[in-house]
Structure 1
Amino acid sequence: MHPFALIVSEPIKIDIWSDIACPWCYIGKRNLEGGISSLGDDAPEVEITYHSFELAPDTPVDFEGSEVDFLAKHKGLPAERVHEMLDHVTGVAANAGLDYHFDTLQHTKTLKAHELLHFAKEQGRQLELAERLFRAYFTEGRHVGRIDELVELASEIGLDTGAAREALESGRFAPAVQADIAQAQAYGINGVPFFVIDGKYGVSGAQPREVFARALTQVADEKAA
């Protein structure tokens, strides 16, 4: 290398395993973003990639019942306890600047939403779509399991509707979703959100923004050294 050549550092890769139907995943997303922004001018360049994880793969696309009904059955908890859990996560979300509405949420299978995220990644718009899907699901009460609704959400962030529909109807990104899930199993990930920073550091759960800021600072210092 020429002695005066510039050394261009690679961005820090952040791989996130999450599910659109996971309330803590949206909170974790916000806390990560807050951690990055809190570093100001010292924030390292990052490259974020979302990976698929289905928390409840046996969920029907058109689930009959409320979120309370689903969780009571899925977790075997009394409805009163589920209400307490949802009230708690709604409060945590509010502290992260998110407005959750579990009373209007339409619980559904998230497989097609994950396929759409892979399509959006191919188009360079995955981060925008992840944000749009989370907001649609937790705040707006949109149905993110049906192809027609997903295509509409894709169009709202500038993706081609015809190409998005073809990707979903053909199921061509289904193998990519399963590959993500298999990778999660290989890593021993059994809950989301799960963040892998620079391929070697794992952060489990919706940690406070300070945790993400410290982790990124440490990785950036290691790369600089």
Structure 2
Amino acid sequence: MSALRVDVWSDVVCPWCYIGKRRLETALDRFEHADEVEIHWHSFQLDPSHPKGRRRPVFETLAEKTGAPVAQVRAMTRQVTELAAAEGLTYDLERAVSVNTVDAHRLSHLAAAHGLGDRMHERLLRAHLGEGEIVDDPGTLVRLGAEVGVPEDEIRRMLDGDTYADAVQADIREARRYGATGVPYFVLNRAYGVSGAQPADTFLSALRTAHADAAPANR
């Protein structure tokens, strides 16, 4: 039987993306045909205009964007931290640092070429959202990539050039063609779109629908 393809657009600094990833995984744990599912991670930048090399505490960045005081931003992010905890995730957004994520996404593409795309994306999300890691720092990216099994020498060569930069932009263009204006964004069998970090039950229903609709073609 053909695989059920799930394409996911996500940014490695996106709190809702990590929650959405966990909720999809929870749904897959309950999905009767989980062994047929292939997940493909795609790049998306929440703020592509963020200057490369600029590092700033997340709360300051959010305060500037929203026009709200830092104290109010802290209160706003407390809810997402609590929702993450309900999914077994530990956020420490006080330590999180805003950066341009293009190099982190290039690392994800390199990892995917080694069959490590899911593990790499997971590691980068945890690093930024829970550990205060600077995910545009070359040394940090080499270390995090090596942790999941990506060869260090390949990471260094990639970071020294522009390998996978075109792939990152191609992912973002594809997301726009699907109509995605934010992330996480999920597409099942290139036909069913699910926007946002929906409850696990919603993902499970979508998986079952996509599988049932594809079944006649697989007989």
For the superposition of Structure 1 and Structure 2, which TM-score range results when normalised by the shorter chain? over 0.9
Alignment of 1:19 onto 2:11: yes
Aligned to 1:218: 209
Aligned to 2:112: 121
C-alpha contact (below 8 Å) 1:44/1:216 kept by paired residues = no
Range with greater deviation from structure 2 (63-72 or 152-161): 63-72
C-alpha contact (below 8 Å) 1:52/1:114 kept by paired residues = yes
Aligned to 1:83: 74
Aligned to 1:137: 128
Output the amino acid matched with 1:209.
A
Deviations 1:72-122 (A, max 9, x none): 112222323311211010011001110000111122111100011111111
Number of residue-to-residue matches in the alignment: 216
Residue 42 of structure 1: CA displacement?
Answer: 4.4
C-alpha contact (below 8 Å) 1:12/1:44 kept by paired residues = no
Residue 62 of structure 1: CA displacement?
Answer: 4.4
C-alpha contact (below 8 Å) 1:54/1:110 kept by paired residues = yes
Aligned to 2:189: 198
Q: Give me the TM-score of the superposition, normalised by structure 2.
A: 0.94
Aligned to 1:36: 28
C-alpha contact (below 8 Å) 1:68/1:83 kept by paired residues = yes
1:162 and 1:114 map into 2 onto residues whose CA distance is 17
Question: For structure 1, which runs of at least 5 residues remain unmatched after alignment?
Answer: 1-8
Deviations 1:28-77 (A, max 9, x none): 000000001023x4435111111111111122344454211100112222
Aligned to 1:6: none
The correspondence for 1:52, drawn from 43, 47, 65, is 43
Greater Cα radius of gyration, structure 1 or 2: 1
The correspondence for 1:10, drawn from 2, 7, 13, is 2
1:42 and 1:162 map into 2 onto residues whose CA distance is 38
Aligned to 2:163: 172
C-alpha contact (below 8 Å) 1:31/1:208 kept by paired residues = yes
C-alpha contact (below 8 Å) 2:92/2:129 kept by paired residues = yes
Aligned to 1:66: 57
Q: Give me the TM-score of the superposition, normalised by structure 1.
A: 0.91
The correspondence for 1:106, drawn from 87, 97, 114, is 97
Equivalent position SS for 2:41: strand
Over the aligned positions, Cα root-mean-square deviation in angstroms equals: 1.4
Q: Percent identity?
A: 41
Aligned to 1:95: 86
C-alpha contact (below 8 Å) 2:185/2:196 kept by paired residues = yes
2:147 and 2:140 map into 1 onto residues whose CA distance is 11
1:158 and 1:32 map into 2 onto residues whose CA distance is 24
Residues 180-195 of structure 1 aligned to structure 2 (within 5 Å): 180-195=171-186
Equivalent position SS for 1:139: helix
Range with greater deviation from structure 2 (55-64 or 201-210): 55-64
C-alpha contact (below 8 Å) 2:99/2:135 kept by paired residues = yes
Aligned to 1:162: 153
Residue 167 of structure 1: CA displacement?
Answer: 1.4
2:146 and 2:56 map into 1 onto residues whose CA distance is 28
Question: For structure 2, which runs of at least 5 residues remain unmatched after alignment?
Answer: none
